[in-house]
Amino acid sequence: MDLKHLRTLVAIAERGTFAAAGEALGLTQSAVSLHVKTLEADLGAVLFDRARRPP
């Protein structure tokens, strides 16, 4: 588990979208998605419901 992946997770939770988190962290949306997928693989759990859009 990498600290930058955890920072990405926190940014998503605070900002509500992968795109907004990426913008805040200076990452592309695809890089944010990769961080989440890596964390999910490390933890063996789904962290976000990607089918649902925030209100």
Predicted pLDDT at 48: 84
Cβ atoms of 6 and 39 within 8 Å: the answer is yes
Give the pLDDT confidence of 6-55 residue by residue, as tens digits.
Answer: 999 999 999 999 999 999 999 999 999 999 999 999 999 999 887 766 56
Predicted pLDDT at 8: 98
Predicted pLDDT at 22: 98
Handedness of CA 44, 37, 2, 6 (dihedral sign): negative
Predicted pLDDT at 49: 81
Predicted pLDDT at 1: 78
